Chains A and B, each alone.
Chain A
Amino acid sequence: MRKLALTAALALGASPALAQDCGEVSITEMNWASSAVVTAVADFLMTQGYGCEVTKIPSSTNPAITSVAETGEPDILTELWVNAAPVYDRLAAEGKVKPLTDVLSDGGVEGWWIPNYLLEEHPELATIEGVLANPELVGGRFHQCPDGWACKTVNANNLRAAGVEEAGIEIFQHGSGETMATSIAAAYQDREPWFGYYWAPTSVLGQFPMTRVDVGEFDAEAHACNALEECPDPKLSPFPEAKVLTVVTDSFAEENPEVTDMLRNMQFTNDQMNGVLAWQEENNASPDEAAVYFLTTYKDVWGDWLNEAASENLASILQ
C-alpha cells in the first residue's frame, strides 16, 4: 500500500515529459546589458525547450574565464569579449576552453567616437586629421581605456602613431568602464564635446548616438603590433571587428550535444541587439523583459536555432 502511494506520488510529482532530459546547467550573466539579454534568451530556450534546470551566475569577463579554465564551472560562458581578456588566447591554446560560435555575428564594433550633435555642428571632425587640427572642438581630451584592458595598449600605440598628444589633446585614463559610460552620459546631458574609445553594441551607444572617427584603412600587421606594449614603431590602424564568443566546457559539450547545437546556432546581429537595447532603454525594461521582446519579435530567427523536440515544446509561442 505504501509502495503504491509512493509510486503514485512520484508519478504525480513528475514534471510533464519534455522529450529530452538536460539536467543542471550553469550559465554566466555578465554585468552589461547585451549579455544579460543573451543569457535571458538562452535561459528561456533551455528551460522551456530542452527541459534544463538553469542557474544564472552573475560574473564578468576575467573571473568567468579563470573559473572555467581552472574549475570547469560554469558550463557556459556567454558574450566573451575576447579582446578584453588577453588571457583568453592563452587558455584556448592550452585547450581549457572551447569556443562555439560568434554570438554577436557582426562582431563588436570598437573605435574612437564623437557624439552625433558634435559631428553635425562641425563636420570636419569626421576624420582624425580634422580632430587633430581642432583639438578644442573635441574638448581637448581623449578618454582612454582603464589599465588592464587590452584596448589600453592598442589605443596608446595608435595615439602615439597619430600624434594626438602633440596636437594638444590630453589623454585621460579612466579608472573603470563605469566612469567612461558616465562621462558619455554627462557630456550628452550638457551637450558638451566628448572624444574617446568605446564599443558597440552597448546600451550607452544605443542611448547616446555617436559616430566613429575615420582613422584610415585597417592594417592587420599594424594592429597586431599595436596590441603589444613594446611596439617599436606603431602605425595608425582602426580596430577590426571584435570577436564576441560563446564558450562551453568540453564536458558540457559531450553530455548535452543538443543544447550545445542550439548554443552554436544562437547568434545576434548588431542591428537586432542594438534594436533590443534601444527598446529596453525607452521602456525602462528589465533584461528579462528585453529578452521577451526579442523572443516575441524575432520568432523566425530563433525558431531556426532549435531542434525538433524543442520546437514542439515551444510551438505555442512560435506560431
Chain B
Amino acid sequence: MAHYDFVFDGLGLRDWCDEGASDGPMTMEQLMAQARGEDPAATSGPLPFPSLDSLHQSCGAIPQTREMTAWLERSFLDAKDTLKVVLDPATQPLSWMLDNALWIFTATPWWILLPILIALTWFVSRSRPVTIFVALSFVFLGAIDHLDVAIQTLAIIFVCTSLCVLFGVPIGIAMSKSDRLQRSVIPVLDLLQTLPTFVYLIPLIFLFSVTESKLYGIAIILYAMVPVIRLTDLGIRLVDKDVIEAANAFGMSNRQKLFGVEIPLALPNIMAGVNQTIMMSLAMVVIASLVSAPGLGVLVLRGIRNLEIGVGLIAGLGIVLLAVMLDRTSKAALDRVDVSRSSR
C-alpha cells in the first residue's frame, strides 16, 4: 500500500509527514486486503504512479487530490459574490432580449407571424425555391402541432445568433490583425468548444437565479460564437496579399481597406462562419432545455425521459428542419453578396 515510504524516510521527512498527517477514510483496497486476511497497512500490488493520493498514503502531510477539487469549490464560492456584482448587470441585457423575443414571437398570432417570416426570407434570399421550402416547412410544423415550440426555439436562435455575429465578427477581425491576440484567443476558443457545457453552467446557477433566461443564452452564445470568430479570422488572413498591395498603392487608409477590400473578399468565409454558428446554436437546443429553455428541446427531453421514442424523434427532426431552413436562407443570402462570385 504505502509504496513510497522509502522516499520520505530516505529524505528525512518522516517527522514532517507524521506531524501534518490527517487520516483519510479507509479505501476499498484496504478493506479488500483485510477481507483476504492480509494486513491492510502492508505494501501490496504493483507500483502506482506517484500521484497525490499514493504519496498521501506514505506521507500524511501531502494533500489528496480531493483537497484540490474542494479548494477550487471553496474559491469559487468565496469569489461568487464579487463575480455576481460584475457579471449580473453585464448579462442582464441578454435576459431582457431573450424574454422579449420569446414574448413577441409567441404573442403574435400565426397568421401575422408566418407571413412576416416568409417575407423576410424572400427579402434576404431573393430565391423562390428557398422561400417556398421555408413556407412549406412552417406549414408542416404547424400541421403536426409543433408550431409553438418551433417558434420559441426560433426566437432563441435569432437572439443568440445575432449576438454571436455581433460580438464574433469584431473579435475575429481584431484577431486577424494581431498575431499575439490570435495566439492568446485560440486556446480560449478551444476551451469554449470542448469544455462540457454543464460544467460551467451549474456554477453559473450560483451567480444568477436558475429562472433567468440568460443561463441558456450564455450556454448557446459561448458555444456557437467560436466558428464565426475562427472563420472571420481565417477569411481576412486569406485575402490575397496582392490585392492588399494594390489597395495600399491607391493610398487607402486602414479603415477603408478593412471595409472596402478585406471584408468583402472575406465574406464567403465569414458567411460560412455564420452558417456554422447557426448550426451549433441549434445543436445546443437540448442542453439549453436542460437549464429550462423553452422550445423543441423540452419535447426531446420529455420523449427521452418517458421512453416515447417517437416524440423525441419528431421533435429532433423539427430541430433539423429549422436548421435546414436557416442554412438554405443564409446560403442564398451569401450568394447575393458574394463579390468574388459575381465578377465571374
Chain A contacts to B: CB under 8 angstroms: 40, 44, 48, 62, 65-66, 86-87, 141, 146-149, 172-176, 178-179, 182-183, 185-186, 189, 283-285, 288-289, 291-293, 295-296, 313-314, 316-317
Which of chain A's residues has its CB closest to B208's CB? A186
How many A-B Cβ pairs are below 8 Å?
104
Inter-subunit contact B290/A288 (CB<8 Å): no
Give the shortest distance, in Å, between A279 (CB) and chain B (any CB): 8
Q: A176-B290, A178-B290 are in contact. Are A147 and B302 (CB under 8 A)?
A: yes
Are the CB atoms of B292 and A175 closer together than 8 Å?
Answer: yes
Identify which of A48, A175, A189, A317 contacts B291 (C-beta below 8 A): A175
Q: Is the CB of A316 within 8 A of B34?
A: yes
The docked-state distance in angstroms from the alpha carbon of A259 to that of B150 is 51
Residues of chain B lying within 8 A (CB to CB) of residue A183: 205, 209-210
User: Bound state CA distance, A316 and B70, in angstroms?
Assistant: 35
- Kindly state whether residue B27 has any CB partner on chain A within 8 Å: yes
Please give the distance in Å from A100's CB to the nearest CB on chain B: 22
Measured between alpha carbons, how far is A82 from B230 in the docked complex, in Å? Answer: 48
Q: Which of B60-97 contact A (CB under 8 A)?
A: 66-67, 69-70, 77, 80
Residues in A whose Cβ lies below 8 Å from that of B70: 284
B25 CB–A CB distance under 8 Å: yes
Q: How far is the CB of A319 from chain B (nearest CB, A)?
A: 11
Q: Pick the contact of B290 from A66, A86, A179, A186 — CB < 8 Å? A: A179
User: Cβ of B26: which chain A residues have Cβ within 8 Å of it?
Assistant: 289, 292-293, 296
Which 9 pairs show the lowest CB-CB distances between chains A and B?
A148-B305, A175-B292, A288-B28, A176-B290, A182-B205, A148-B302, A289-B25, A175-B290, A186-B206
Instruction: Tell me the smallest distance from the CB of A313 to a CB of chain B, in Å.
Output: 8
B35 to A317, Cβ gap below 8 A?
A: yes
- In the assembled complex, the Cα of A285 lies from the Cα of B70 at a distance in Å of 11
Min CB–CB distance A277 → chain B (angstroms): 14
Q: Is the CB of A317 within 8 A of B34?
A: yes
The binding surface of chain B is classed by DSSP as helix
Q: Which residues of the partner chain B approach A317 to less than 8 Å between Cβ atoms? A: 31, 34-35
**How many angstroms from the CA of A224 to the CA of B149 in the assembled complex?**
30
Contact B25 A293 (CB under 8 A): yes
- For B29-58 the 0/1 string (1 means CB < 8 A from A) is 011101111000000000000000000000
A185 to B76, CA, bound (A): 13
Closest CB in chain B relative to A158 CB, distance in Å: 20
Given contacts A148-B306, A175-B293, contact A289 B27 (CB under 8 A): yes
Q: Are A175 and B205 in contact (CB under 8 A)?
A: no
Measured between C-beta atoms, what is the minimum distance from A191 to chain B in Å? 13
Residues in chain A near residue B31, CB distance under 8 A: 44, 292, 295-296, 317
21 A-B pairs within 8 Å (CB atoms) are namely A40-B28, A44-B28, A44-B32, A62-B305, A62-B307, A66-B307, A87-B306, A87-B307, A148-B301, A173-B292, A175-B298, A176-B291, A179-B202, A183-B209, A185-B206, A186-B206, A283-B25, A288-B27, A289-B28, A292-B26, A293-B26
* Contact among A44, A65, A175, A178 for B301, CB-based, below 8 A: A175
